[in-house]
Structure 1
Amino acid sequence: MNAPTTASHLAPELSLREVPPALIQALQSRFGARCSTAQAVREQHGRDESIFEVPPPSAVVFAESTQDVADAVKLAAQYKVPVIPFGVGSSLEGHLLAVQGGISIDVSRMDQVLSINAEDLTVTVQPGITRMGVNNAVKSEGLFFPIDPGADASIGGMTATRASGTNAVRYGTMRENVLALEVVTAQGEIIRTGTRAKKSSAGYDLTRLMVGSEGTLGVITEITLKLYPLPEAISAATCSFPTIEAAVRTVIQVIQLGVPIARCELIDANTVRMVNAHSKLGLREEHMLLMEFHGSPASVKEQAETVQEIAGEFGGNAFEWATTPEERTRLWTARHNAYFAAIQSRPGCRAISTDTCVPISRLADCLLDSVAEADASGIPYFLVGHVGDGNFHFGYLIDPAKPEEHHTAEALNQKLVARALDLEGTCTGEHGVGLHKMDFLRREAGDGAITVMRTIKRALDPDNILNPGKIFAL
């Protein structure tokens, strides 16, 4: 369908592979109207929240069952054509872009809860359901699923990118909260990994291998997740600080003292202003920690008092409480909308996002130097962070019509990642590698580890049809 070419913003080796008309005909015969080649549909499935401009896939298949996915992959495998899984399109690093052409498999219609096992604190779902969909389904059982990356992302996408988010400091990431998977391999075979048991010593841990593989080793079609009892009491608070360093030192002390805080978010003063304007809030426009405490009423009170005392030692002031569900929801919705607030602050801009993560003891060193560099650059930016686990995000707001701004933002990102790696951190705490961090992964993991990854990829996907061109080049 598409003549081979090269995507302009990507490495030369990522040229598009031909999609034969015979494959499109076979897909249309199998799926009927659920296989679309309409330009608008293809373009919708050929972009995400990243800055990359890449031609769209040649066709989109809307899967409604595991067998649909298996049949689509089998047909693509016959012609050695790439397949790219698609959930809701909220990725930030180019994960879903058809950088080598191919077809997109949209699993958003696979959005069912298959079983809730309240006694065992597990739920099994299809990949197209979103995190909010899961929580709406299990709340009547007095349970919830805590992983919250901000966007109402699909569970399949969250699993594929090993997502985490605001609750990770207490509840962990998708890596710790996925028990079992159903996956379609590159050959179109349906396999299962893991069980609903809390642990196992049986064979290779294929579940952990698939979690974070970004669609390069298989298409996830079913996920079994851990659930948690809804806390008896929840309290949220904001606290303002005179400097970013004071806020960060407070967080480090809180974590090192073992306070079981559920969420601990840093929002710098610049971003608070953006959030106020976007969400019509009246937050103090100073550097701020937004925190949440879970537990019994007594334990929540004790946690909050401890944190308030620590914050006071570092100049924290104006502790403000949000104890009702409505107040808490309003605060966290505003935090989750920080990205859109920032985009709105500079109409027409695009954001180049970062998400480094460092050991908590090195957080201040990494963050403060990065803030100084961003301030000196003159590039507008926003800064938020799940700082309770050492993870933070800059979003450099660039004018896409000005290449010099793009260059400056990428240079800032390079320095930030280099600093994080020097401090024994990682180039990506939760967004994944995708396209943007391929070079960073090589520096972080080393050539030997990349070789092992390539060996696994070639063994499971010898024709390189599963989301090719992501994580590393073959």
Structure 2
Amino acid sequence: MTLAFDGLPLEIDTRPAVLDQFTVDETGRPGSRPRGVVYPADHDQVLAVVRWARDSKTPLIARGAGTSLEGHLLARGDEVILDLSQANSILDISPTDFTATVQPGVTRTRLNTAAAEFGLQFTVDPGADASLGGMAATNASGTTTVRYGGMRANVLALQAVFADGTAARLGRAVRKSSSGYDLKDLLIGSAGTLGIITELTVRLHPIPEWIHSLRISFPTVAETVDAAVEILGMSLPVSRLELVDAPSMAAINAFRGTSYPESPALFIDTESSSAAAVTADEQEIQRIALTHGAVDIATARSFGERHALWEDRHNLYFAVKSCNPGRRFLITDTAVPFSQIATTVDTTARLGDEFGLHVTIAGHIGDGNVHTIVPYTESETQAAAQFSDRVVRHALGVGGTATGEHGIGLAKKKYLRAEHGPAVDLMTAIKRTLDPNGLLNPDKILDA
């Protein structure tokens, strides 16, 4: 079907077989079939669709690669999906400014391929080949956050379309500014509920000349966490610092055919500009690990060795899926202060046992982010939901957050007031000001 959006003819796909592809999220959580899907290719087409939606009072859900995990992209049934995967041009790479300007559908892998020609990289790594617009909308982070920060630290400027059919550029392509309210950061993490991002200028970083990777096994989670905190306290230049628990290592062994110690482990990258410096840092990390009872240390220095080591970590979800055929999977995350990481991991494991669930726990320990994968059968659906609720409430109780990086979608908005208190009223006021008719990703983050 072709509709004229603000004078621009665009196809809106209403075929049931296509719409059905938008009824579940990455975890299998179900939603309703949307009314249609439209594929704008640039800012002007997005603007035209939003103006049509404003005039027709049609809700919109902006979507990128679709890797969100908390129900951000699920429809109630009356929305049109604004699929931005075709808005995928790299508009500029400026090696002297260390920036790239892209459309929202560009994926991080594609940007990194282009930036590598200049010896540069885009560093935010959520573990999926997500789109840059979606990553900004959810304030994505990941394995490299400990050194380079998440999306909020790496987006310098953006262009957005708002529910009233206007557009604005927010932020400037400079490293610092004290000019006016920081509206750019208001949109980052808003999950498309305040505006639709149509262009981003992001930071690029030099690709380090020397990187060493380590996998270090420990007897207990407490010793693993203590070693990680000491490594951070020594200001060692680690760019990745990941925690994987014993059941996770067992799943990796089964999936990859390896025979690693099935005990808690750290996966670490340290990087420097010289071979001597990176070797010295690696030796210091090993020294710290041994003082905390490390039982096995594996090092990887060549590109191939490092790639293989990190493939183990990046394939954890697929390893758990392989070990649990025919099951559904709940993937949840919280973030807690460093002092509470060991307690949180132990509590999560204990709650898994209490509910009869075989959970695996991993996390971006460098920023206190704890992830849990919960395989469950249909009969265990309620137990999995209760387990997740208890894990989140524990995190809130020790001064943490309901979600470190997955965001507040349908699944976790019930915790918003417990975490933020009266500040939720301020969030509601902002939403009503920018989207008074509730057209942008309705019922996500806040109730309509």
For the aligned pair, the TM-score class normalised by the smaller chain equals: over 0.9
- Equivalent position of 1:116 in the other structure: 93
Of 297, 313, 326, which aligns to 2:304?
326
Structure 2 stretches lacking a partner, 5+ long: none
Distance in 2 between residues matched to 1:279 and 1:185, nearest whole Å: 47
Q: In structure 2, what is the equivalent of residue 443 of structure 1?
A: 418
SS in 1 for 2:330: strand
Which residue in 2 is equivalent to 1:58? 35
Within 5 Å, which residues of 2 pair with 1:286-365?
286-296=263-273, 297-365=275-343
Q: Once structures 1 and 2 are overlaid, which stretch shifts more, 334-343 or 109-118?
A: 334-343
Partner SS, residue 319 of structure 1: strand
| Partner-residue secondary structure (3-state), 2:242 | strand
State the Cα deviation string for residues 151-193 of structure 1 (Å, max 9, x = none). 1111111000000000001111111110000101112222110
**5+ long unaligned stretches in structure 1:** 1-22
Q: Distance in 2 between matches of 1:166 and 1:98?
A: 30
Separation in 1, partners of 2:39, 2:258: 40
RMSD over aligned Cα atoms: 1.7
Give the superposition deviation at 1:143. Answer: 0.6
Secondary structure of 2:432's counterpart equals helix
> How far 1:422 sits from its partner (Å)?
1.6
Aligned twin of 2:192: 215
Secondary structure of the residue aligned to 1:74 is helix
The number of residue pairs the alignment matches comes to 447
TM-superposed CA distance for 1:51, in Å, is 4.2
- The one-letter amino acid paired with 1:379 is L
1:36-435 equivalences in 2 (<5 Å): 36-99=13-76, 101-296=78-273, 297-399=275-377, 401-402=378-379, 405-435=380-410
Residue 344 of structure 1, CA deviation: 2.0
- Contact kept, 8 Å, 1:28 with 1:35, in 2: the verdict is no
* 1:48-79 per-position Cα deviation (integer Å, ceiling 9, x unaligned): 11343211211000111111111111111111
How far 1:362 sits from its partner (Å)? 1.8
Residues 62 and 81, structure 2, Cα contact 8 Å, conserved in 1:
yes
Classify 1:285/1:467 alpha carbon distance in 2 versus 1 (closer, same or farther; 3 Å).
same
User: Aligned equivalents of 2:95 and 2:6: distance in 1?
Assistant: 41
Cα distance change on mapping 1:28 and 1:52 into 2, 3 Å:
farther
% same residue: 41
> What is the alpha-carbon distance in structure 2 between the residues aligned to residue 28 and residue 36 of structure 1?
18
Q: Distance in 2 between matches of 1:27 and 1:381?
A: 48
Alignment check: 8 A CA contact 1:45 1:60 kept: no
| Structure 2 residue corresponding to 1:461, chosen from 426, 435, 438 | 435
Q: Which letter does structure 2 place at the counterpart of 1:469?
A: D
Distance 1:129 1:282, change over 3 A: farther
Q: C-alpha distance in 1, partners of 2:148/2:128?
A: 18
Partners of 2:425 and 2:2 lie apart in 1 by 34
Secondary structure at the aligned position of 2:396 is classed as helix
Shift of 1:310: 1.3
TM-score when scaled to structure 2? 0.96
Task: Describe the SS at the equivalent of 1:262.
Answer: strand
Query: For the residues of structure 2 that align with 1:382 and 1:357, how far apart are their CA atoms?
Result: 16
Report if aligned partners of 2:225, 2:342 keep a CA contact under 8 Å in 1.
Answer: yes
TM-score by length of 1: 0.91
Would you say the 8 A contact 1:240–1:286 is kept in 2?
yes
